[in-house]
């Protein structure tokens, strides 16, 4: 295939993928909402609202990475990705555990940060960028 078409094909494919992902997120959101209303179990909703922005961050990162050679950028992974992942997935994990077996006080400020939509997007985006944007040696 001619290289001049590749610069047009990639954004078109990315937009088609975005539309497909948006439809899938919408469909599964309705399924989770119906299941939550039927069973009164909020765990699926909490997990869904955490995983969807994380997956969106992963998908957004496809626009940023040009060279898919595995070169970890350790400062990005350790100082951005790891804290974002811990804060992002703390509420659903604790919510799932606390409804079944464990009872301990939960810091509410961590729930406030963890249930935001920005941190999971940042976690997904920085994960891929941290894995593929390291320095060339």
Q: What's the pLDDT score for residue 96?
A: 82
Residue 78 lies in a domain: yes
* Closest listed residue to residue 107, CA positions, set 88, 86, 91: 91
Q: What's the pLDDT score for residue 29?
A: 96
Distance CA 32, CA 20 (A): 18
* Structure tokens belonging to residue 92: 């659903």
| Residues of the domain holding 106 | 42-132
Residue 114 lies in a domain: yes
Residue 9 lies in a domain: no
Q: What's the pLDDT score for residue 115?
A: 64
pTM attached to this predicted model: 0.84
Residue 102 has, within 13 A of its CA and on its CB side, a CA count of 9
Domain count, the chain: 1
Residue 109 lies in a domain: yes
Residue 47 lies in a domain: yes
Residue 46 lies in a domain: yes
* Closest listed residue to residue 45, CA positions, set 113, 92, 103, 93: 92
Q: What's the pLDDT score for residue 111?
A: 63
Residues of the chain with pLDDT under 50: none
């Amino acid at each position: 295939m001619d290289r001049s078409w590749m610069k047009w094909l990639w954004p078109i494919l990315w937009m088609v993928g975005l539309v497909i992902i948006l439809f899938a997120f919408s469909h599964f959101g309705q399924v989770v909402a119906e299941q939550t209303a039927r069973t009164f179990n909020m765990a699926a909703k909490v997990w869904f609202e955490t995983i969807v922005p994380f997956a969106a961050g992963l998908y957004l990162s496809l626009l940023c990475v040009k060279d898919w050679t595995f070169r970890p950028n350790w400062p990005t992974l350790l100082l951005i990705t790891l804290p974002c992942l811990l804060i992002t997935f703390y509420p659903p994990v604790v919510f799932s555990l606390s409804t079944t077996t464990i009872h301990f006080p939960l810091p509410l400020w961590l729930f406030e940060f963890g249930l935001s939509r920005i941190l999971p997007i940042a976690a997904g985006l920085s994960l891929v960028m941290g894995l593929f944007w390291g320095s060339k040696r």
